[in-house]
Amino acid sequence: MSNLDDPQTYQRLDPSGMRYHLHALPGQCRQAWQDALRFELPQHYSQVDRAIILGMGGSAIGGELLRSLTALENRLPVSVHRSYGRPPFLDEKTLLIVSSYSGNTEETISAFVESLPIAAKKLVLTGGGQLRTLAAKEGVPIFVIDYHAPPRAAFAHSFVPLLGIFQRLGLVEDKSADFEEAIHVLNELAAQLSESTPLASNPAKQLATRLSGKLAVIYGAGILSEVAQRWKTQLNENGKAWAFYELFPELNHNAIVGYQFPLEVKDNIQVVLLHSSRLHARLSRRYRFTMEIMTKAGIGHDMIEATGDSPLAQMLGLILFGDYVSFYLAMLNGVDPTPVASIDYLKKRLAGL
């Protein structure tokens, strides 16, 4: 097993520098926020009664987080369309945001093309590719992502601009104070979780060690539902590992009954419960009682508490924590976290059809 305190581990297994993208997250968020607040859009773009975000994978998770934040204000319904074809409920009162970091995501392009005849208020968020070319041809405003990384490592540029644009259009309350708190939380965590911080005092390294050789199941609730999904996908893509996620309170109505069988599985499972002080008190009790059930069943588990006060700070802090855990798991698995060979293979196969 790799030594997480040995600098040679990272030089050998991370030649593409995924760790540097993790280091840069606070700065990425700051730059993306400033760019979004400067971005000009037609004033009538604020005259909408819903928003739909088209995207897949790392380009869609930003939309999911935005949906969760806007739901707290009960002002504007936001949905995320992760598939081919025109999304439902699309009309002239819809803000349609098309998000694809690469600009070549075929599901997203399909949905955009089929949406073009509808007089929705359209905006494209991309780094280039076919999507940028098509949007320019159609006269659709383009927010250009100027950051080079795998899509999952450009998370700040897929989420923060959405929040900034919503604020600029008056579709959410002013998040400036929450954003400053989030940057403070990210900077503190970045120092605590970086590879230069030894295992003995690095909770991300410690959790990755407990996840090594195990099937990870991430539990979340409320504002951490999408964060749990992000943990799952990062463990998949960075760690090259099986992982799943489930949500409270629904999991209390089914998943907890499945802890019994097969008997061989329980020793190879590690559950990670993401918890927030902002959750409903009854949900927090469910966390506690569920851990009691897991203890009796012999299921390994950890609870990770969100830091910060605002929903935004708690969400972003736990995302960075999960990103570091997935990175360290890749090191323990002896793999480079950056390549995604299975996804590349699938795209090549689809391109031939």
The pLDDT of 109-127, averaged and rounded, is 98
Residue 110 located in a structural domain: yes
Residue 305 located in a structural domain: yes
Q: Specify whether 44 is catalytic.
A: no
Cβ neighbours for 283, distance < 8 A, ≥ 6 positions apart: 221, 222, 248, 249
Do 272 and 320 lie in one domain? The reply is: yes
Do 158 and 45 lie in one domain? The reply is: yes
Supply the pLDDT for residue 1.
75
- Catalytic one among 23, 266, 301, 347? 347
pLDDT-based confidence at residue 353 (cuts at 50, 70, 90): low
Residue 192 located in a structural domain: no
Residue 26, pLDDT above cutoff 70: yes
- Catalytic one among 195, 226, 237, 246? 237
The answer to whether the beta carbons of residues 109 and 101 sit under 8 Å apart is: no
Q: What are phi and psi of 340, to 5 degrees?
A: -130, 75
* Mean pLDDT score of the chain: 97
Please give the helix or strand (H or E) that residue 109 lies within, else none.
helix 106-115
Residue 353 located in a structural domain: no
Estimate the share of the chain in helix, then strand, then coil, as percent rounded to the nearest 5.
55, 15, 30
Residue 194, pLDDT above cutoff 80: yes
Q: Specify whether 21 is catalytic.
A: no
Residue 62 located in a structural domain: yes
- Catalytic one among 44, 253, 296, 348? 253
Q: Specify whether 81 is catalytic.
A: no
The pLDDT of 58-69, averaged and rounded, is 95
Residue 231 located in a structural domain: yes
Residue 188 located in a structural domain: no
Q: Is 262 left (phi over 0), alpha (psi -120 to 50) or beta?
A: beta
Do 126 and 29 lie in one domain? The reply is: yes
Number of domains in the chain: 2
Do 248 and 298 lie in one domain? The reply is: yes
Supply the pLDDT for residue 320.
98
Do 53 and 169 lie in one domain? The reply is: yes
CATH number of the domain that residue 321 is part of? 3.40.50.10490
Do 28 and 123 lie in one domain? The reply is: yes
Could you list the residue range(s) of the whole structural domain that residue 279 is in?
A: 198-332
Do 321 and 219 lie in one domain? The reply is: yes
